[in-house]
Structures are given as C-alpha cells and as structure tokens.
Amino acid sequence: MKQIQIFLIAVLFLAVSGFTECYKPVTNSGLPEKIKIVAVPAFQFEVSGARYRVETRFTEAVTKEIIKRGRGLKVQGAREGADAVIEGTIRNFYFTGVLLDRDGRARVYEVTIVAAVTIRDLKENKILYDNQNFIFRDSFEFSADPRSFFNEEDPAVERMSRVFAESVVSTVINGLGVKDKRGK
C-alpha cells in the first residue's frame, strides 16, 4: 500500500511540475499570421506520359492535409484571392524491383518520386519555402498467388501522395514558424 502511495505521489509530482510541457501540440500554422487562404493549383508532371494520375493525387493529398492540419487555413485551387500558393512539380517517377521471388520475378518494388515544391507569399511576392529536390520513396509488393494478384502500383502511388503531403504540410506548420520566430 505504501508503494502505491509513493508511486501516485511521483506521478502527481511529474504532472504538475511542467514535465507535460514537452508534449504540447502545435497550435499555429507556421505561416505568417496574415495568410488565411492558401492556393494549391494542380501540380505539374514533367515526366512524359502522365502515369497513374500522380499529379492529381499529389494535389488532392496536399489539399486534404492542409485542411486536416492547417489550423483554420482555407484552401482553394485558384491563385486569385489567395494569400499564399503551394506550387508543385513532379519531376521524376520511377520504380525498381528490390526483391525477387524464387522464380526470379520481382515481388517488392521501390517507388521513387522526385518533386519541386515552392510556397510563395502572394501579397509580398516572397518565397517562404523552396525545395527543388523533394525525394520520396516507398515500396509495394505483388501477391505471390496469381489468383489473388492485383496491381499494387495504384495504392503505392496513393500512399506516396499522402507521405508527400504530410511532409509538405509539416514543413509549413513546423519549419516555417521556427524560422520566422528566429527573425530570419
């Protein structure tokens, strides 16, 4: 009984001592406060032969992620009337086999997408973020049973678009705010 009391007192002490301050959620968007509307026009696709609707999926994923985590930011497709714009270009998209089955066929593939992302303040015509070499990788696996085989490339691109969007929006929410607070 005495040990339980000591344990509860220690937990209570940690809770009131400020230890929980480490886990505060992010409460602002990281963008300058004057930015309320963000445009996300359709991403461009530089690789010949638009495959798997990559540009559409990446645009939709970034839009959804901003709505989900943007802390009140409004999102639209057109630049007109927006305070900032997120522009993206898919520069390369390829996949390679990384694991073979016992018959010598690729079972696991690695997908690599290289993109350029720029976030621009439209009111001041100032670049807030620019990365011309965003690189994302993910892998997918084909079924070994031909009867249950389905093309996994499409879901892999869907996963890649979500990872890409999470990274871009995390950069906006976390990275830009830290940079601005230092006065740079």
Q: What are the sequence ranges of the domains in the chain?
A: 2-181
State which fold the 2-181 domain adopts.
Double Stranded RNA Binding Domain (3.30.160)
Q: Looking at per-residue confidence, does 13 or 109 come out higher?
A: 109
**Confidence check: pLDDT of 107 > 70:** yes
**Confidence check: pLDDT of 36 > 60:** yes
pTM over 0.75: no
Summarize pLDDT for 75-96 with one digit per residue, the tens: 999 999 999 999 999 898 887 8
- Cα 52 → chain centroid: 19
Max mean pLDDT among 43-47, 79-83, 165-169 falls in: 79-83
